[in-house]
Structure 1
């Protein structure tokens, strides 16, 4: 099985191959070593190409981009590489950031030369990548070409095409394309296809049309699922407020076979906060726990950040400790909102502890701006030693925080 690992010194991805383990750990280690030697000795070009494709600096100059594309195409000669969908996604994502759209077309059109193009799954990946690059017309052209590759088209590839339109923000294209392809191509549609159309209507602000798709699904004997209702909840809560969103919630509960998840309750909580304030949102926590659904880090973070915005320090601290008690790890958004807020409210002890936790681990969990505000607040309070400690930790993470003492 061919895979990749990241060299800890250079940071580059290195291509290697491992056999399936045989009988013992010694045999496994010997097999791995032998295969690594063979790869390094026999395929240096593969390793060099991989290094170039996934080295970030390669995307900063026209020459570097040209090298990335050429090496990516060389790597595609290896069938195992063509199976690594995440490598394709990473490359396209970086080319999008570099605004190198003709090169995205070049590497994706290059894939048509391989036998894999007759696989619907492989084409779905390429369609999705065109969508992520917001090159929907290319995605549509590739879908239309599928018969010439002897590639079957099903509800899965139609779903991928419609999703590509949504990713490319071509929302109005989705309903029209759905009707046309459903009727002309005789593709048997399923719930995921309808879910994409419902999503498109919600993003267009046409919630009534989205609701009509729900009725159409039921007439065809298709079962709406949790994704269907979460999409409708998001649309109705966001566009019409809490009361209208609750009508969709009641419809979901009436079905009996769809139970709300943490995403459903997050959507409800956002609507509650917008309608009646963050204090009312605590009732949503009680409701969800009563129904056996536990908050996750996203839920806690939303609650904490909302209390920070509302100026309620004790509540923000309570829900932070509750998040920790439940085993959730705060992320940058939570630390960025909570730590400066604690300084503003005078709780420097907890602010210092959380800030130290946020920058003292393996990952950096607080932004440079928030950290700078905490350091300045500590200095202003005469807590220079703690400020120096944070500055020292920040420098280890390559953050340039200046310590200015009065």
Structure 2
């Protein structure tokens, strides 16, 4: 022990040790540049556009390892051009070779979403078949872009066939899937079909969510039934569900469209003071619609309220307020 202690004592006092410490490079090694999500998207775009799909595969793998997950721009190189078919076939070839699990599953889901954006739902369903045969983790989320696209295009029968396809793969139909149908029917004001969707949801023991109620409010407004829309809003509040800004916008738009100007102001003021962003959206939207209808008296009252509450106004509303309220009151 004495020998060991003497060794450390001598080493501590050693000029050599002091010189060694003084010559250590105190500059840390520069960290390697970590690519961002946008950089990965750009690299995949370049590789896909040039036909280098092995590079696409490698990039899909490495981006997930680096926590740079796929985005709507990941497969942006895939467009409705002459090279579409060959590019899609190349992707179908390399995607099964990506890392199993989340990497592969998310790559498929991102590509399906891209195909739906291009209006290629038939090809999206082919990829569904690829995932099913390869057992690559199909889920209800995989089908959402397809159902959403078809219902938006009012291809309701085709969308229901997709639902049956989900069931054939033993994938449960979730609330979001039903909401796509409900929103489509409610947008068209088709209360009967909307009621049928709600009935199916209830039969399967599903509880409506915020989007469900938003669609129902939209349907009531499209049918000119403001009272029903208000009743649905009250039920949301009773059940403690958050109300979307868009849900309020449906009601405001219908009230102004129906000429219920005073009621529109009363409705917006009833919710004022709880959420500043909601106040800005509601009061600003109401003021804009009143001005468009040349209901300047009501519009001035709304803009005064926004000013008192310190709410942000758009440029057009600010100009109207300063010209028609501030100047005239001076």
TM-score (norm 2): 0.69
Is residue 317 of structure 2 the alignment partner of residue 370 of structure 1? Answer: yes
How far 1:247 moved relative to its partner? 0.6
Alignment of 1:153-172 (within 5 A): 154-172=104-122
Point out where structure 2 has 5 or more consecutive residues left out of the alignment: 1-26
- Aligned twin of 1:309: 257
Instruction: Give the alignment's Cα RMSD to 1 decimal.
Output: 4.0
Query: Which one is further off, 145-154 or 170-179?
Result: 145-154
- Aligned twin of 2:159: 210
Q: Among 244, 252, 266, which residue is 2:201 paired with?
A: 252
CA distance in 1, matches of 2:278, 2:163: 37
The alpha-carbon distance between structure 1 residues 218 and 114, as it changes in their structure 2 partners (threshold 3 A), is closer
How far 1:206 moved relative to its partner? 1.8
Alignment of 1:115-134 (within 5 A): 117-119=60-62, 121=64, 125-126=69-70, 128-131=72-75
Is the CA contact 1:139–1:161 (under 8 Å) kept in the aligned structure 2?
A: no
Alignment of 1:290-329 (within 5 A): 290-327=238-275, 329=277
Q: Among 33, 49, 56, which residue is 1:78 paired with?
A: 33
- Aligned twin of 1:190: 139
Q: Which has the larger radius of gyration?
A: 2
Point out where structure 1 has 5 or more consecutive residues left out of the alignment: 1-37, 47-76, 93-102, 386-406
The alpha-carbon distance between structure 1 residues 239 and 349, as it changes in their structure 2 partners (threshold 3 A), is closer
CA distance in 2, matches of 1:322, 1:290: 16
Is the CA contact 1:190–1:222 (under 8 Å) kept in the aligned structure 2?
A: yes
Alignment of 1:24-173 (within 5 A): 78-79=33-34, 81-82=35-36, 85=37, 87=38, 105-106=45-46, 112=55, 117-119=60-62, 121=64, 125-126=69-70, 128-131=72-75, 135=79, 137=84, 141-142=90-91, 144-147=93-96, 154-173=104-123
CA displacement 1:34-89 (0-9 Å, x = unmatched): xxxx89xx97xx9xxxxxxxxxxxxxxxxxxxxxxxxxxxxxx623x43xx3x559
What is the DSSP-based 3-state SS (H/G/I as helix, E as strand, rest coil) of the residue aligned with 1:276? coil
Is residue 302 of structure 2 the alignment partner of residue 353 of structure 1? Answer: no
Aligned length: 290
How far 1:146 moved relative to its partner? 3.4
The alpha-carbon distance between structure 1 residues 150 and 353, as it changes in their structure 2 partners (threshold 3 A), is closer
Alignment of 1:265-280 (within 5 A): 265-280=213-228
Is the CA contact 1:333–1:366 (under 8 Å) kept in the aligned structure 2?
A: no
How far 1:120 moved relative to its partner? 7.8
What is the DSSP-based 3-state SS (H/G/I as helix, E as strand, rest coil) of the residue aligned with 1:128? coil
CA displacement 1:220-250 (0-9 Å, x = unmatched): 3322112111122123333571210111011
CA distance in 2, matches of 1:318, 1:288: 19
TM-score (norm 1): 0.58
CA distance in 1, matches of 2:224, 2:164: 31
Structure with larger RCO (C-alpha < 8 A, sep 6+): 2
CA distance in 2, matches of 1:132, 1:240: 35
CA distance in 2, matches of 1:240, 1:349: 32
